[in-house]
């Protein structure tokens, strides 16, 4: 399994005990996450439903194991309504398990459904829902960037944006996240990191060209997701800023109520001060 996981005191080692098989009933497979599969399960002792991510450790390199450990550590630290709720993790039979809250859906599935609908079915109500989702997503990213230490997600995409059972927007999958220690929040400088292996469709140009970048790579990804939420062409988001998406949304109001929409503008407080 490698020393990198054995040294983490937050992960319980159960050896060959069948904790997963004996304690959880698999309801369905929810999909493939970073480095593992995600299942909807029912815990037999409290009869509640959870999401469990299962990672086969034998299939992972030491670097990938470090990323899995990073995700565990991030989830333990980030106790917030902006991040998926982490409950417990353990190792058994050379597999690492994460027990997390079960969410209703992810943003990718919502956007896929939206694309399949006709324009007549969208219009006003869908437009306001888009505003709400984008605003809440901005708050999630802002929470990471204003945390102490600051966290850069580095893999923002619709797949990693979840919708909880009570309708909250939450972030997940922190395997590529990085912490910035002892940094002035309002003067965020560039820092050298290893190459990002995030989804190229939402990747900031600077992370492809070199290893020197900062929190603004998340802001760029956020803007591209916002364009997709509103159905805009990503190529029109020329400055990579959330406010560009907001301006375009206001210019394309279904009912032309600019006063109401202006009141709902999503404002990312940090990025304008740090460009």
How far from 219 is each of 49, 94, 226, 269, CA to CA, in Å?
33, 37, 10, 11
For residues 22-36, average pLDDT: 87
End-to-end CA separation in angstroms for the chain = 42
Q: What percent of the chain has pLDDT over 90?
A: 36
What pLDDT shows up at residue 228? Answer: 92
- Residues near 111 by Cβ (< 8 Å), separated by ≥ 6? 158, 228, 229
Contact 248, 235 (CB under 8 A): no
H helices then E strands: how many in the chain?
A: 10, 13
pLDDT of residue 206: 62
Q: Is 54 annotated as a binding residue?
A: yes
Q: Which residue has the higher pLDDT, 37 or 274?
A: 37
pLDDT tens per residue, range 254-263? 654 544 444 4
Q: Do domains 20-100 and 105-270 have the same CATH topology?
A: no
d(CA 214, CA 191): 6
Burial status of residue 115 (CB atoms within 10 A of its CB: 0-12, 13-18, 19 or more): exposed
pTM of the complete model: 0.80
* pLDDT category of residue 189 using cuts at 50, 70 and 90: very low
Q: Each residue of 120-137: pLDDT tens digit?
A: 545 677 788 888 999 999
CATH homologous superfamily, domain 20-100: Phosphorylase Kinase; domain 1 (3.30.200.20)
Given this model, what pLDDT does residue 250 score?
Answer: 73
- Give residue 196's pLDDT: 47
Query: What is the Cα–Cα distance from 142 to 4, expressed in whole angstroms?
Result: 30
pLDDT exceeds cutoff 60 at 114: yes
Q: Tell me what pLDDT residue 12 has.
A: 65
Mean pLDDT of the residues in the chain: 78
Mean pLDDT along residues 24-32: 93
| Domain spans in the chain, listed from the N-terminal domain onward | 20-100, 105-270
Backbone angles phi, psi at 161, to 5 degrees: -115, 115
Q: What would the mean pLDDT of 57-77 be, rounded to a whole number? A: 81
- Residues in the chain, how many? 275
pLDDT at 265: 47
Q: What is the mean pLDDT of residues 156-167?
A: 95
- CA torsion angle for 59, 62, 63, 67 (degrees, to 10)? 70
- Measured at the alpha carbon of residue 161, what is the angle toward residues 158 and 166, in degrees to the nearest 5? 135
Cβ proximity of 133 and 56 under 8 Å: no
CB 178 within 8 A of CB 152: yes
Classify 217 as helix, strand or coil.
helix
pLDDT for residue 235 = 78
Residues in Cβ contact with 23 at an 8 Å cutoff, skipping those fewer than 6 apart: 43, 44, 45
pLDDT digits (tens, 9 = 90+) for 206-261: 665 556 668 888 999 999 999 999 888 877 776 667 777 877 777 776 654 544 44
CA gap 153, 210 in Å, rounded: 17
Tokens of 60: 């992972």
- Show which residues are catalytic: 155
CATH 1.10.8 correct for 105-270:
no
**pLDDT of 81 over the 90 cut:** yes
pLDDT digits (tens, 9 = 90+) for 90-112: 989 888 899 999 999 999 999 99
Contact (CB, 8 A) for 130 and 122: no
């Amino acid at each position: 399994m490698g020393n990198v996981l054995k040294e983490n005191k937050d992960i319980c080692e159960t050896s060959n005990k069948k904790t997963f098989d004996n304690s959880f009933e698999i309801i369905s497979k929810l999909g493939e996450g970073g480095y593992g599969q995600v299942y909807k399960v029912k815990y037999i002792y409290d009869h509640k439903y959870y999401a469990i991510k299962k990672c086969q450790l034998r299939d992972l390199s030491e670097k990938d194991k470090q990323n899995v450990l990073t995700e565990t550590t991030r989830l333990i630290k980030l106790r917030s309504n902006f991040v998926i709720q982490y409950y417990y993790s353990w190792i058994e039979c050379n597999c690492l398990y994460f027990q997390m809250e079960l969410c209703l859906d992810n943003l990718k599935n919502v956007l896929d459904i939206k694309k399949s609908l006709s324009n007549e079915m969208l219009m006003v109500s869908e437009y306001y829902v888009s505003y709400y989702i984008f605003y809440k997503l901005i708050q999630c990213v802002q929470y990471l960037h204003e945390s102490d230490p600051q966290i850069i997600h580095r893999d923002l995409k619709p797949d990693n944006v979840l919708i909880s059972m009570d309708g909250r927007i939450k972030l997940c999958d922190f395997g590529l996240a990085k912490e910035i220690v002892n940094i002035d929040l309002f003067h965020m400088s560039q820092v050298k990191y290893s190459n990002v292996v995030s989804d190229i469709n939402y990747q900031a140009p600077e992370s492809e060209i070199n290893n020197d970048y900062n929190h603004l790579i998340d802001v760029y990804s956020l803007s591209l997701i916002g364009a997709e939420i509103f159905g805009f062409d990503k190529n029109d988001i020329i400055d990579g800023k959330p406010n560009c998406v907001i301006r375009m949304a206001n210019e394309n109001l279904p009912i032309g109520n600019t006063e109401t929409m202006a009141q709902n503008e999503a404002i990312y407080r940090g990025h304008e001060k740090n460009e």
